[in-house]
Amino acid sequence: MTDRPGTSTYPSGEGEPLLSVRDLTVTFGRGAKAFRAVDAVSFDVRPGQTVGLVGESGCGKSVTSLAIMRLLPSRGNAVTGSVHFDGEDLLTLSDTQMRDRRGRDVAMIFQDPLSSLNPVVPLGVQVAEVLERHRGMNRGDAGRRAAELLDKVGIPDPTRRLKEYPHQLSGGMRQRALIAMALACEPRLLIADEPTTALDVTIQAQILALLKELVQESGTSLIMITHDLGVVAGLCDEVNVLYGGRIVERARRHDLFARPRHPYTGGLLASIPRLTEGKGRRLTPVPGSVADNIPWEGGCAFAPRCSSEIEVCRERTPELVPDHEGLGPDRLLRCHNPLESNPLDDAPSDEEVRA
Amino acid sequence: MTTTVQQPEGAGTPEADVLLDVRGLKVHFPIKKGVIFDRTIGHVYAVDGIDLQIRRGETYGLVGESGCGKSTLGRAILQLESPTAGEVVFDGTDLASLKGEQLRRQRRHMQMVFQDPLGSLDPRQTVEQLLLEGMRAHGLTKDAQVARTRLTELLSAVGLPKNALSKYPHEFSGGQRQRVGIARALSVDPQLIVADEPVSALDVSVQAQVINLLEDLQEEFGLTYLVIAHDLAVVRHISDRIGVMYLGGLVEEAEGEDLYDEPLHPYTRALLSAVPVPDPVVEDSREQILLPGDLPSPANPPSGCRFHTRCPWRQPTRCEEERPELRVVQVDGVPASHRVACHWAEQIASGELGRHTVEVDDVTHPDEIHPEIDSSLGAKGVTDASA
């Protein structure tokens, strides 16, 4: 992570991976009705690194995170593969052992802060509960520590807020409270599943700034799950683009946005309306919808929507292989006919730089 | 807010071109309390004195955060919400004075596209029934053959296959459902379409399809749009003129390009700087204006300039006492169509006034907020409770 272009403001993610996901597969249902929501997904998260999982709804990004946390219901699905956290396979742990990890070593922030909080329990009790459970603190100490945590995530007047219930807080405050809970035991890995999607832009900016600061300060690794490429552009060291349950492209942040190689990544980038472009430029959307996918077996799921589809796309499943040299390190790509040029190149790029 | 509206000079549009003229529009929702007898203990000032004009054939974009009253404004324009004060003149008729049958007839010319495509379509009606219902209500289906052709036209206009007519809403994907919603709005051949967050429930790639569709339809049918959205990039992409709303009032209004090139109101600046840009080079270099705290409660809006509690450019004088009105500012390169509601816009634009930090404690004063109103729920939560 030393040769990243531009200013490197993030702690480097050198060394042994903290989390190593290999061939993670989640299948819902059985027999003829079986549906593979996540299909052989593998990625690493190194200490201090921020890894992004990006994709549209239904691409399996949330299911991946739930499978890592072992939060999927015990029935009706099958999880295979391995999730090594610090050398231990989380998928083979007993429920009791897993409960000890959750919240202490691995924590999670969800999209909807209201439904992630217990509506009938005061905030303070909920934040302190994590500390009592994992750190063995008594109620008084935990309460004091909870107030410190709320203060740290920027909630004004924390001691009063501790006595309040979730409905008395605004959306942004609730998300801050969830972040405080997630960080209470200083976990080594934080999984954020669309943490700002339900929030307004100005509040989103606050929360993202907070996450960035906390990750830098504590050296926590972060898995950022989002559909918003703008969020990824500002936060993630490495980005995985998911489509139809599989990773279709992986690259470092700058490389990905400078040279998208998979037609789906290129299509996503081209379909975002830009602030700097006025009325007139037609968006180039990805045609069709996820419903048009063909199964991965025997072809590329994206082929029916793909603009650079060739014959082989419907005959052979593309593998996730290293992309050719000269495009930046660690690039992986799953495509028979990748993009040769950035679809946005016709747009002037220096005009996009605005204060 | 007193209504001193000047047609922006130099905009070069005669009065006759104005399709929709909103003057001093206010929508206040009462807050009721009591077990047996409801007492009104206050009001939510959802829309509080808005003037805006929409010209024929243009797209007016309305942006703001949740709870700023933008949806209520859209509903009030269509008379789905009865305004507390002010008038809505549509094509020369004051809608607020119309009642019953007359108003119903007028509705043919103003249609709405909703945010949630599944929630706004009746799950027990096929697409054919959905589309015909509005047409029947306005007497457009007397000739079955004409109605039939009209349906086919509508489907091809919004890009749906012919066999869609016999399907139910749940059989479609999100993008297709939104197309059905748009087709329904188009079915009665309206002049104005109010689109309330038309794409925010859709995935990025599908979102682009629907935006393109809206633009095509405008060209084809000469529609006038009022697009309400929280996504600034979307609004910028489809709007000719843009109004920025904060807590029930317009704080800035300008041509799309002018607004994004030179935002004059501190809130607009903060809003624009908060949008994540899908370009790491920009993200690494740009400076963000982070606004502290949350939107104040619309039931108890701050005095003077509504934004002064969170404003990084707040001045000790005027901001707290005097509510600024939309005015044309004397700044080089800013056209007369660009209006802003800030006392200090000139000084901020010239760099004479600098940014300062805002104490977060100033922002959320717990005692000043009505306990029964959750500011994040905004007006919607309150109306639901009192309805």
Do A113 and A256 lie in one domain? The reply is no
Do A211 and A264 lie in one domain? The reply is no
Q: Residues of A120-155 as b/e, b for ≥16 C-beta within 10 angstroms?
A: eebbbbbbbbbbbbbeebeeeebbebbbebbebbbb
CA of B239 vs chain A CAs: smallest distance (Å): 7
Does residue A353 lie within any of the structural domains?
Answer: no
Phi, psi dihedrals of residue B94, rounded to the nearest 5°: -80, 110
CATH class of B15-91+220-386: alpha beta
Does residue A354 lie within any of the structural domains?
Answer: no
Does residue A12 lie within any of the structural domains?
Answer: no
Interface A-B: count of C-beta contacts within 8 A? 182
Do A321 and A194 lie in one domain? The reply is no
Do A222 and A319 lie in one domain? The reply is no
Do A236 and A304 lie in one domain? The reply is no
Do A238 and A250 lie in one domain? The reply is no
Task: Quote the Cα angle for B302-B307-B310, to 5°.
Answer: 100
The model's confidence at residue B359, banded by pLDDT at 50, 70 and 90, is low
Does residue A56 lie within any of the structural domains?
Answer: yes
Does residue A236 lie within any of the structural domains?
Answer: yes
Q: Is pLDDT above 60 for B194? A: yes
* pLDDT tens digits along A82-91: 999 988 999 9
* CB contact (8 A) between residue A234 and residue B276: yes
Do A258 and A236 lie in one domain? The reply is no
Do A289 and A266 lie in one domain? The reply is yes
Do A230 and A325 lie in one domain? The reply is no
Q: Which of A188, A221, A243 marks a domain boundary?
A: A243
Do A146 and A270 lie in one domain? The reply is no
d(CA B257, CA B144): 46
B206 touches chain A (CB under 8 A): yes
Comparing CB atoms, the residue among B279, B281, B291 nearest residue A202 is: B291
A312: containing domain: 246-277+284-344
Total number of domains in chain A: 2
* CB contact (8 A) between residue B374 and residue A154: no
| pLDDT of amino acid B63 | 92
Identify which of B132, B166, B130 has the alpha carbon closest to the alpha carbon of residue B149: B132
Q: Is pLDDT above 80 for B263? A: yes
Do A316 and A214 lie in one domain? The reply is no
* CB contact (8 A) between residue B286 and residue A257: no
3-state secondary structure of A35: strand
Q: What is the ipTM of this complex?
A: 0.78
- Give the domain CATH number at A54: 3.40.50.300
Query: Can you give the residue ranges of every domain in chain B?
Result: 15-91+220-386
Q: Is pLDDT above 60 for B13? A: no
Comparing CB atoms, the residue among A56, A209, A278 nearest residue B204 is: A56
* CB contact (8 A) between residue A354 and residue B366: no
B290 touches chain A (CB under 8 A): yes
Mean pLDDT (chain B, rounded): 83
A213 touches chain B (CB under 8 A): no
| Strand segments (E) across chain A | 19-28, 35-45, 50-54, 77-85, 88-89, 106-109, 189-193, 221-226, 238-243, 246-252, 321-322, 332-333
Mutate to test the interface with A, among B376, B377, B380, B382 (most CBs of A within 10 A): B376
Do A140 and A192 lie in one domain? The reply is yes
- For B294-318, what is the mean pLDDT? 87
d(CA B97, CA B106): 12
* pLDDT tens digits along A126-142: 999 999 999 888 989 99
d(CA B120, CA B202): 15
| pLDDT of amino acid A16 | 82
